[in-house]
Amino acid sequence: MITVLFAAPALWDEYRDPLPQALKSAGLRAQVVLEAAPETVDYIVYAPSAPLQDFRPFTRAKAVLSLWAGVERIVGNPTLTQPLCRMVDPSLTEGMVEWVVGHALRHHLGMDAHIVNPSHAWVPDPAPLARHRPVTVLGLGALGTACAQALAALNFPVTGWSRSPKSVPGLRCLSGPEGLRAALTGAQIVVTLLPRTPETENTLNAETLALPARGAVILNPGRGPLIDDDALLAALDQGQIGHATLDVFRVEPLPQDHPFWAHPKVTVTPHIAADTRADSASGVIAENIRRAESGAALLHRVDRALGY
């Protein structure tokens, strides 16, 4: 009998049924528990809200399986010696693609002027075609790559940037610090989907926000700290950036006194771009436990040195 400690009590209602079901479907004899003597635990399912902070007593645990894609709140924990896996959930990718493509098309088509049109103005002003609207996606992980490819399928000319060189069909792929400048230069829509690491903090700052085309739109469904908030507000006020639609923030919920709320060129969405869905995530957890039990390599294992 495998013992799985579900160390994310706030999410128990969502996972109570699908996680045991997924383990059973994977052919595993397992029990999912909310509490257990640490030395009896085989796997730990983890979310950042978990009270669990000291992993040393879990001497038998073969892996810590995160329910979140972003692992910045656990990856630096010095007590964690067990393998750590990120959540890469196909439904999370789908939701992210829908949010990114939807908001990219919203800005591309200038929808806001039609959604709010109190003067009932009839001004036929068709957008240019997507093929004439360069888009840059920062980050070519599972989420960034899927979004970039979905945008390219709608004819947007898409540039993807990643820390290390990658090649993705249909995209112009750039990498490294010099590549970042080239990727941002002239972009009309910029999507930030980098992992949160010390290196990615403030990737969009006063200097880099000056590179896109004047009036460019920023979409951030990645992580709040990827953007220097003050630099973004200054770029919006100067007109260098035309609009920012942000789903993630340094503090969430976004505090009521944060200037993003009232800024006419900022749209706040409440961290909804990519939601881990319990059904789908349970299947990913079960598959990783099945792999570990059969001696296969874990999926989506975090490189502790890189931080993701």
Beta-ladder partners of 246? 220, 268
* From 99, 134, 161, 180, residue interacting with a copy of itself (rule: CB under 8 A): 99
Based on the shown chain and the rule CB under 8 A, indicate whether residue 10 belongs to the binding site for a copy of itself: no
What 3-state DSSP class applies to 153?
A: helix
* From 13, 35, 125, 303, residue interacting with a copy of itself (rule: CB under 8 A): 125
What 3-state DSSP class applies to 190?
A: strand
Based on the shown chain and the rule CB under 8 A, indicate whether residue 262 belongs to the binding site for a copy of itself: yes
Q: Is 239 left (phi over 0), alpha (psi -120 to 50) or beta?
A: left
Indicate the residue among 275 and 287 with the shorter CB distance to a copy of itself.
275
Catalytic residue among 258, 271, 291, 304: 271
Based on the shown chain and the rule CB under 8 A, indicate whether residue 49 belongs to the binding site for a copy of itself: no
**Secondary structure element (H or E) that encloses residue 161, with its range:** strand 158-162
Q: Residue 276 CB, nearest distance to a copy of itself (Å)?
A: 10
Window contacting a copy of itself (CB under 8 A); options: 17-25, 45-53, 228-236, 260-268: 260-268
Told to judge if 304 belongs to the known catalytic residues of this protein, a careful annotator would answer: no
Query: How long a stretch of residues is the chain?
Result: 308
Q: Residue 112 CB, nearest distance to a copy of itself (Å)?
A: 6
Based on the shown chain and the rule CB under 8 A, indicate whether residue 305 belongs to the binding site for a copy of itself: no
Which residues are within 8 A (CB) of 83 and not within 5 positions of it... i.e. 6 or more apart? 62, 63, 64, 298, 301, 302
The two beta strands, 266-268 and 84-85, are unpaired
Based on the shown chain and the rule CB under 8 A, indicate whether residue 306 belongs to the binding site for a copy of itself: no
Q: Measured between alpha carbons, how far is residue 34 from residues 37, 41, 46, 111 in Å? A: 11, 11, 11, 47
Catalytic residue among 107, 108, 223, 290: 223
* From 86, 103, 290, 300, residue interacting with a copy of itself (rule: CB under 8 A): 103
How far is residue 196's CA from residue 308's CA, in Å, rounded to a whole number? Answer: 8
Cβ proximity of 231 and 205 under 8 Å: yes
Window contacting a copy of itself (CB under 8 A); options: 127-135, 196-204, 232-240, 296-304: 127-135
Indicate the residue among 20 and 134 with the shorter CB distance to a copy of itself.
134
Q: What residues numbered 197-256 form the site for a copy of itself, per CB under 8 A?
A: 252-254, 256
Task: Centre a 10 Å sphere on the Cβ of residue 46 and count the other Cβ atoms it contains.
Answer: 26
The two beta strands, 266-268 and 241-246, are parallel
Q: Residue 162 CB, nearest distance to a copy of itself (Å)?
A: 24
Based on the shown chain and the rule CB under 8 A, indicate whether residue 153 belongs to the binding site for a copy of itself: yes
Window contacting a copy of itself (CB under 8 A); options: 20-28, 148-156, 234-242, 283-291: 148-156
Told to judge if 223 belongs to the known catalytic residues of this protein, a careful annotator would answer: yes
What does the CA dihedral 91, 96, 99, 105 come to, rounded to 10 degrees? -120
Cβ proximity of 173 and 167 under 8 Å: yes
Eight-state DSSP code of residue 64? E
How far is residue 152 CA from its own chain's centroid?
A: 19
Binding site for a copy of itself (CB under 8 A): 91, 94-95, 97-99, 101-103, 105-106, 108-109, 111-112, 114-117, 120, 122-127, 129-131, 150, 153-155, 252-254, 256, 261-262, 267-272, 275, 277
**Residues recognised as catalytic:** 223, 271
